[in-house]
Amino acid sequence: LEFARVMDTSNLDSETVGLFRTVEITNLGNNSKMKFTIVNPHEADLKTGKISIKSPIADSLVGKKEGEEVEAHVPAGVLKLRIDKITV
């Protein structure tokens, strides 16, 4: 029998943005850098750098790869972002 264990992230694809990935991005509008981890909505906490997978920024990044540029439609307008690094 195999019991519940700590989540094994070794088989997660780190080439594309997705749940539990840490993403480093550059806001191309003002050249500021941001780093956050994409988590389930109930785990989101901006103070610790965790954003919900259902947020506009995460939604625009999911499935994309390093070097890609995306547009995130947020309440303040449209952010142009570049994905610099993806880690698990």
pLDDT in tens, 5-63: 455 555 556 799 999 999 999 999 999 999 999 999 999 999 999 999 999 999 999 99
| pLDDT of amino acid 37 | 97
The predicted structure's pLDDT at residue 25: 98
Q: Are 21 and 87 in contact (CB under 8 A)?
A: yes
Rg of the chain taking only CA atoms, in angstroms: 14
In this prediction, residue 14 carries a pLDDT of 74
58, 44 in Cβ contact below 8 A?
no
What per-residue confidence (pLDDT) applies to 1? Answer: 47
